[in-house]
Structure formats: C-alpha cells, structure tokens
Structure 1
Amino acid sequence: MKMLIIYTYPNHNSLNYAFLQNVIKGSKQNSNIKELQILDLYDEGFNPLLVFNEQKRRRDMHTDPDIEKYRQQITWADKIVFIYPIWWGRPPAMLLGYIDQLFASNFAYKDKKGLFPDGLLKGKSVVCVSTMKGPTHYPLIWLNNAHKTLMKRALFNFVGIKKVKFFEFGNMESPRGKQMKKLDKIYNYFKRLVL
C-alpha cells in the first residue's frame, strides 16, 4: 500500500502534530504500507486561494502546472490520510482550498449524463483524523453530522472514493480529554491497517 498523509495545522507544538507523528510511527511499523509521503500544507506554503482570470481558467484546473506535483501524489496514493482540526464545524480553509484546486473536473471526476459524475479516483480509500474543542458528539447532535456529510458524500463519494474512515476526537482542549488514549488508538490503527 502507498499512503499519502495530508497534514493541515499551523503549529508543530500541538496535539494535531502528535496525531501526525503517531500515524507515521504506526505506518512505519506496518508491513502492509510499502511507501509513505507526507504533505504538510502549511510547511509547504500551499496557496489555498483560487485564481481564475485570462491565464487561469476553471476548466483547465486539471492541467494547472502549479499543482501538478500534488496531482501526482493523489494519483500515486492507494490511501489518503487527512489530519486536521474541525473549526466552525468544518475543516480549515487551508485544506478546503487544497480540495477546491485538486479535486477538479477531469482529474477527480468527469461529468456525464445524469445526476452524478464519473468518479475518477475509484479504488482509493481515505482516513480522516480530526480534532475539536467541543464534545465528540457535537457535530452529530448539534450540526446534523455536517462534517462527515461534507467530506464523505459531497467530496469523496462524488470522486469515486467509497471507503472512508473517520476519527473525530472531541474535548481535545480539556484536561479530561483522554488525549494519550486517543493518540494510542491512532497509532494502533495504523500499525494494523490493511488496504
């Protein structure tokens, strides 16, 4: 298995970074994971802003040379792991900007007759590891599961990715948030992961 980790948090002295380290540690001890790439969007200086003008047209995003290396990473990966906080009920703007640019028509999906497009990323799988200040069940009860709906149905299923696993960790700023237990859970999951 070839795995791409997309990390989206601006501080390396953080719990999110600890989750990243545990994903890496578990993955490196897993004989099923043959290759591993890490994309830190903040360290990379990724520009999340969409630009459409006379030189950059929306219909040409799938061939934009400025993001070719990121398209190659997605094409290369069997499994894509996203690590990010949930802010205001959704992923950070940095990650959404990455998604806006990379999951473009004629790369991630192709329009066809009917309601749904042809997903071009079939066969890949995704794991989302997210943290939040609020209680674990806050997105489900208060926001009608908006985060998972956005990521799974509006994005991943749309581009052909059917196998999606979520870890939504709440109470992460609380001294009773069981952070070490949750870090161990992620480490053990990736240590035993199969495609």
Structure 2
Amino acid sequence: MKTLVIYTHPNHQSLSYAFLQAVLRGCEENPNIVDVQVLDLYQAQFNPVLVFNENKRRRDMHADPDLAAYREQLLWADQIVLVYPIWWGRPPAMLMGYIDQMFASGFAYRDNGSLIPEGLLKGKSVVCISSMKGPTFYPFFWLNNAHKILMRKALFNYVGIKRTKFFEFGNMESTRGKHQQKLEKVYRHFRNTAH
C-alpha cells in the first residue's frame, strides 16, 4: 500500500505536526505500507489561490502543468491521509485551495450526463485526522456534521472514493484533552491498517 500524507498546518511545533509524526511512525512499522510520501502544503509553498483568465481556464485545470507533480502523487497513492486543524468549522483555506485545484473535472471526475458524475479516483481510501479547540461533539450538534459531510459526500464520494475514515479530535487546547491517548490511537491505526 502506497500512502500519501497531506499535512496542512504552518507550525511544526503544533499538535497537528505531532499527529503527522504519529501517522509516519505507524506507517513505518506496518509491513502492508510499502512507501510513504509527505506533502507539507505550507513547506511546499502551495498556492491555494485559483486563477482563471484568458490564459488559464477552469475547464483546463485538470491538465495545468503547474499541478502535474501533485496529480501524480494522487494517482500514485492507494491511501490518502489528510492531517489538518478545524478552523471555523472547516479545514484551513490552504487545504481547501489544494482541493479546489486538484480534484478537478477531467482528473478526479468526469461529467457523464447523469446527476452524479463518474468518479475517476476509485479504489483509493482516505483518512482525515483533524483537531479543534471546541468539544468533539460541537461539529455534530451545532454544525449538523458539516465537516464530515463536506469531506465524505461533497468531495470523496463524488470522485469515486468510498472508504473514508475520520479521526476528529476536540478539546485539543485543554490540559484535559488526552493528547497522548489520541496520538496513540492514530499511531495504532496506521501500524495495523491493511488498507
């Protein structure tokens, strides 16, 4: 299993970075995971801003040469892991900008005249690891589970990815946030997963 880890946080002293390290440690100890690539969107200075003009058209985004290396990573991966904080009830703008550009028509899905397009990224799996200041139940009760619906239904199911797992951790700025237990849970998942 080939694993692409997309890390989205500007601070390498953050809890998100600790989750990234837990993922990598688990992957390293898992004989089912043969290769791992890490894409640190901030470190890579990924430009999340969409630009459409007379030279760049939305319908051509699937073939944008500036994004070719990122497309190759997504095609290469059997498992895609997203590590990010929840800010204002959703992933950071940097990650959303990556999603806007990478999951383009002609690459991630194809319009086929029916209500639901043909997903072109079938067979892959996704794990979303997110943390937030508020309580874990906050997105479910106050935001109608918007984060998970956005990621699972509006994005991954749309492009053909049916296996999506969430680790959504709350109370992460509290001394009672059980950080070590949560890091251990993520580590164990990646140490033991078989895809």
> TM-score band, normalised by the shorter chain?
over 0.9
Displacement of 1:43 in angstroms is 0.3
Letter in 2 for 1:67: L
Q: Which residue number in structure 2 is paired with residue 52 of structure 1?
A: 52
Q: Which runs of 4+ in 1 moved over 4 A?
A: none
AA partner of residue 23 (structure 2): V
Q: Distance in 2 between matches of 1:105 and 1:7?
A: 24
> Does 2:10 correspond to 1:17?
no
Gaps of 5+ in 2: none
Aligned amino acid, residue 151 of structure 2: M
Q: Does 1:184 align with 2:191?
A: no
| Partner SS, residue 116 of structure 2 | coil
Structure 2 residue identity aligned to 1:39: L
Shift of 1:7: 0.2
Q: Which amino acid aligns with 1:108?
A: A
Show the counterpart of 2:130. Answer: 130
Aligned to 2:153: 153
| Equivalence for 1:78 | 78
- 1:19-38 residue pairs with structure 2 within 5 A? 19-38=19-38
How far is the alpha carbon of 1:114 from its aligned partner? 1.5
Give ranges in structure 1 of 5+ residues lacking alignment.
none
Q: Which amino acid letter does the alignment assign opposite residue 70 of structure 1? A: Y
Secondary structure of 1:43's counterpart equals coil
1:154-186 per-residue CA deviation (whole Å, 9 max, x = no partner) reads 000000000000000000000000000000001
SS at match of 2:42: helix
Q: CA deviation at 1:113?
A: 1.5
Q: Secondary structure at the match of 1:176?
A: coil
Deviations 1:131-170 (A, max 9, x none): 0000001000110000000000000000000000000000
State the partner residue of 1:106. 106
Query: What CA distance in whole angstroms lies between the structure 2 residues aligned with 1:35 and 1:56?
Result: 34
Matching residue's letter, 1:173: E
Measure the CA separation in 2 of the matches of 1:194 and 1:146.
29
Q: Which residue of 2 aligns with 1:87?
A: 87
**SS of corresponding position for 1:20:** helix
Structure-1-length-normalised TM-score = 0.99
- Percent sequence identity is 67
CA RMSD of aligned residues (A): 0.4
User: How many residues end up aligned between the 2 structures?
Assistant: 195
**What does the per-residue CA deviation read over 1:104-129, in whole Å, with 9 as the maximum and x for residues that have no partner?**
00000000121100000000000000
In structure 2, what is the Cα distance between the partners aligned to 1:116 and 1:87?
Answer: 30
Output the CA distance in 1 between the equivalents of 2:193 and 2:15. 22
Letter matched to residue 5 of structure 2: I
* Rounded Cα–Cα distance in structure 2 between residues aligned with 1:127 and 1:13: 22
Q: After superposition, give the CA deviation of every residue in 1:28-59 in whole Å (9 maximum; x if it has no partner).
A: 00000001000000000000000001111000
In structure 1, the residue matched to 2:141 is 141
Instruction: Compute the TM-score of the two structures, normalised by the length of structure 2.
Output: 0.99
